[in-house]
């Protein structure tokens, strides 16, 4: 009691000093990464590792930027590019007058040097550009020529999106793979690390930025939020100006609190979420069985229950909204992604999987048809999706056991092909080329037990691959679209994996202190801050309301 009496005034004293903290004008508060404490790492070359956002699109820059919201390439460090007649050489014309943040000029030498680093250190060559390149050389200060080993037009996006680092700094770096680059020298809008502590860091403007008057934002500040709940609370309270979080019931919990300023935009530009069947295991090797599984799914309910209605059911092309222009409307109508239990049952009957007396389907050897469905434990949206899928498949007489694993274990099993059914994402790029290549090309199939980066379902289609190879050489847009239509027909005919829904690209903004966020009406980039390199477009566009 005496203790409580002593503590209470102390608690009140401490509590009374609590007031909303003023935020420095012009400083944009961003929430992208979920971390409990920041580790100082600004290495832009080692893709996907622990570099702080926005190292790869904000501190450093690339030559051109594909804006999936606009569906076009935006010139950046390069003003343009041209292919040679034989499509074996690609020349980028670099922008004049670009300076590194230490005042030294940016030139073709830096580009050549950067690609040289990738060749020397394959761990940095995330796109695998040296599979199709034979040489990179400077032609004067302002032109870089890339020589290809074969005609491979999709290689353009890998080159255009490569981050460029300054030769005069990185030539002295002993090991660029393990270099943490604590004081970055870069061409991007925000290059100065003005504050770095375990719970907060701040990036100030590049004093030599090449776009006059930009960025208008004076600094970016990042607070550490280890969980989604914490990040969402800060967003709802207005402590964060720009975020890319999954927010449950976002319109009620966030937008409605200040409809004039709070906005969310979840375009369906994320990858497509699939139900992957392991096609090396009978009867999942039978296209009729895969299509039957697909037709058993009530995708309308799936997106409502699992995804709060933030997305729509996938169609038979499996393409998300970033590829709307590529979609073949005829293929999209194919019936195998529509909910139709009768048709699904008929397909299974045809495939010889008859129902036993207990109503459960049997394999040809008399064993019950039962599958394990694997998802990541804790990924609540996918776990819910797995529950809906399981219930729908049981209506066909297929036993489904939902199994959740820790992420590492789950992904290992997926990559090695040691699963029966699994829910996972897909890979994509500026065109649907990579997307379908990883779904359909025999070149991406690895034996069970060997790690595969994608094509976890382990299926290849020779006809589709021939079309994809022709696509690599297709110079005109008409030709590309015609080929991609045929690829979609092959996808729909073979149903290598079962598309569920396109993943939304999460983005929330609070325009109380800043204007210029992309919206559905002004879709100059994705609002999702993790959508690199779109974030460069946003960071240079935002303007503070107060100075």
- Of 475, 495, 485, 505, nearest to 243 by C-alpha is 505
Neighbouring CB atoms inside 10 A of 484's CB total: 25
CB-based burial, 338-355: b 16+ in 10 Å, e otherwise: ebbeebbbebbeebebee
Question: Does the protein bind other proteins through residue 453 (CB under 8 A)?
Answer: yes
Task: With residue 408 as reference, give the H or E element that holds it.
Answer: helix 407-416
- Contact range with other proteins by CB under 8 A, out of 257-265, 321-329, 409-417, 489-497: 409-417
Task: Measure Cα distances from 31 to 54, 69, 240, 246, 464 in Å.
Answer: 11, 21, 7, 12, 41
Q: Is 221 in the site for other proteins (CB under 8 A)?
A: yes
Q: How far apart are CA 144 and CA 142, in angstroms?
A: 7
Residue 201 pairs in a beta bridge with: 196, 222
- Considering the rule CB under 8 A, would residue 18 count as an interface residue with other proteins? yes
Q: How far is the CB of 14 from other proteins (least distance, A)?
A: 5
Q: Is 447 in the site for other proteins (CB under 8 A)?
A: no
**Site membership for other proteins, residue 370 (CB under 8 A):** no
Q: Which residues of 279-310 are buried (b: 16+ CB within 10 A; e: fewer)?
A: beeebbebbbbbbbbbbbbbbeebbeebbbeb
Per-residue contact flags (x/-) with other proteins for residues 117 to 156, judged by CB under 8 A = ----xxxxxxxx--x-------------------------
Answer for which of 5, 21, 85, 449 binds other proteins (CB under 8 A) is: 21
335: contact with other proteins by CB under 8 A: no
The reply on whether position 48 binds other proteins by CB under 8 A is yes
Q: Which stretch binds other proteins (CB under 8 A): 89-97, 185-193, 219-227, 472-480?
A: 219-227
- Residue corresponding to tokens 């930009």: 214
**Among residues 408, 477, 478, 521, which is the contact residue for other proteins, using CB under 8 A?**
408
Q: How far is the CB of 444 from other proteins (least distance, A)?
A: 9
Distances (CA, A) of 74 to 64, 66, 166, 541: 6, 6, 22, 14
Q: Decide if residue 301 touches other proteins (CB under 8 A).
A: no
Contact 509, 242 (CB under 8 A): yes
Q: What is the DSSP letter of 285?
A: T
For residue 238, state whether it binds other proteins (rule: CB under 8 A): no
| Residue of 381, 107, 338 lying closest to 245 (CA atoms) | 381
Residue 135 or 229 with smaller CB distance to other proteins: 229
55/540 with CB nearer other proteins: 55
**Least gap, CB of 154 to other proteins (angstroms):** 13
Shortest distance, position 546 Cβ to other proteins, whole Å: 17
β-pair type (370-376, 421-424): parallel
Contact with other proteins (CB under 8 A) among 452, 483, 497, 531:
452
Q: Which stretch binds other proteins (CB under 8 A): 47-55, 87-95, 359-367, 482-490?
A: 47-55
Tell me the two tokens of residue 412. Answer: 């290992």
Binders of other proteins among residues 180 to 199 (CB under 8 A) are 180, 197-199
- Of 388-396, 448-456, 469-477, 491-499, the segment contacting other proteins by CB under 8 A is 448-456
Shortest reach from residue 382's CB to other proteins, in Å: 14
Question: 421 has which bridge partners?
Answer: 277, 373
Q: Select the residue interacting with other proteins from 43, 187, 232, 311 (CB under 8 A).
A: 43
Answer left, alpha or beta for residue 343, where phi above 0 means left and psi between -120 and 50 means alpha. alpha
Query: Taking CB under 8 A as the rule, does residue 402 contact other proteins?
Result: no
The DSSP symbol for 182 reads S
Q: Which two tokens stand for residue 373?
A: 């469905």
Q: Is 204 in the site for other proteins (CB under 8 A)?
A: no
- Which residues are at the interface with other proteins (CB under 8 A)? 3, 11, 14-15, 17-18, 21, 24, 36-41, 43, 46-50, 121-128, 131, 177-180, 197-200, 221, 223-227, 230, 233-234, 406-409, 411-412, 415-416, 425, 427, 438, 451-454
């Amino acid at each position: 009691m005496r203790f409580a009496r002593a503590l209470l005034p102390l608690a009140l004293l401490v509590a009374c000093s609590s007031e909303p903290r003023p935020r420095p004008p012009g400083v944009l508060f961003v929430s992208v990464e979920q971390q409990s404490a920041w580790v100082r790492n600004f290495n832009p070359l080692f893709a996907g590792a622990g570099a702080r956002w926005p190292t790869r699109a904000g501190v450093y820059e690339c030559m051109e930027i594909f804006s999936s919201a606009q569906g076009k390439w935006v010139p950046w460090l390069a003003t343009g590019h041209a292919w040679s007649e034989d499509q074996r050489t690609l020349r980028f014309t670099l922008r004049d007058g670009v300076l590194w943040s230490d005042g030294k000029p940016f030139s073709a030498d830096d580009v050549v040097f950067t690609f040289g680093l990738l060749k020397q250190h394959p761990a940095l060559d995330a796109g695998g550009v040296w599979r199709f390149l034979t040489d990179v050389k400077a032609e004067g200060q302002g032109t870089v020529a890339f020589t290809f080993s074969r005609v491979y037009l999709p290689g353009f996006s890998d080159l255009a999106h490569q981050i460029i680092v300054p030769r005069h700094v990185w030539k002295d770096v002993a090991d660029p793979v393990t270099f943490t680059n604590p004081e970055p020298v870069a061409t991007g809008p925000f290059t100065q690390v003005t504050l770095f502590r375990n719970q907060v860091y701040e990036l100030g403007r590049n004093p030599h930025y090449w776009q006059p008057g930009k960025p208008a934002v004076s600094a970016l500040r990042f607070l550490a939020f280890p969980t989604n709940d914490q990040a969402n609370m800060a967003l709802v309270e207005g402590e964060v100006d720009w975020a890319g979080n999954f927010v449950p019931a976002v319109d009620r919990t966030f937008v409605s609190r200040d409809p004039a300023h709070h906005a969310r935009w979840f375009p369906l530009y994320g990858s497509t979420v699939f139900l992957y069947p392991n096609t090396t295991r009978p009867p999942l090797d039978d296209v009729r069985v895969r299509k039957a599984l697909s037709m058993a799914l009530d995708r309308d309910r799936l997106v409502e229950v699992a995804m709060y209605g933030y997305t729509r059911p996938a169609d038979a092309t499996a393409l998300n909204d970033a590829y709307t222009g590529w979609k073949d409307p005829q293929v999209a109508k194919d019936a195998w992604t529509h909910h139709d239990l009768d048709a699904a049952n008929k397909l299974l009957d045809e495939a010889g999987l008859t129902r036993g007396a207990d109503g459960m389907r049997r394999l040809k050897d008399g064993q019950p048809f039962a599958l394990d469905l694997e998802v990541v434990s804790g990924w609540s949206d996918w776990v819910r999706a797995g529950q809906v899928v399981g219930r729908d498949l049981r209506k066909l007489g297929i036993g489904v056991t939902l199994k959740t694993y820790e992420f590492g274990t789950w992904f290992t099993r997926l990559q090695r092909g040691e699963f029966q059914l699994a829910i996972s994402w897909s890979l994509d790029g500026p065109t649907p080329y990579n997307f379908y290549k990883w779904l359909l090309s025999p070149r991406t199939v690895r034996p069970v037990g060997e790690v595969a980066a994608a094509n976890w379902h382990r299926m290849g289609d020779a006809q589709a691959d021939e079309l994809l190879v022709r696509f690599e050489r297709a110079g005109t847009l008409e030709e590309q679209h015609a080929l991609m239509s045929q690829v979609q027909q092959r996808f729909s005919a073979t149903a290598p994996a079962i598309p569920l829904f396109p993943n939304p690209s999460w983005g929330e903004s609070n325009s109380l202190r800043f204007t210029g966020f992309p919206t559905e009406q002004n879709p100059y980039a994705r609002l999702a801050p993790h959508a690199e390199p779109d974030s460069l477009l946003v960071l240079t566009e935002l303007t503070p309301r107060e100075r």
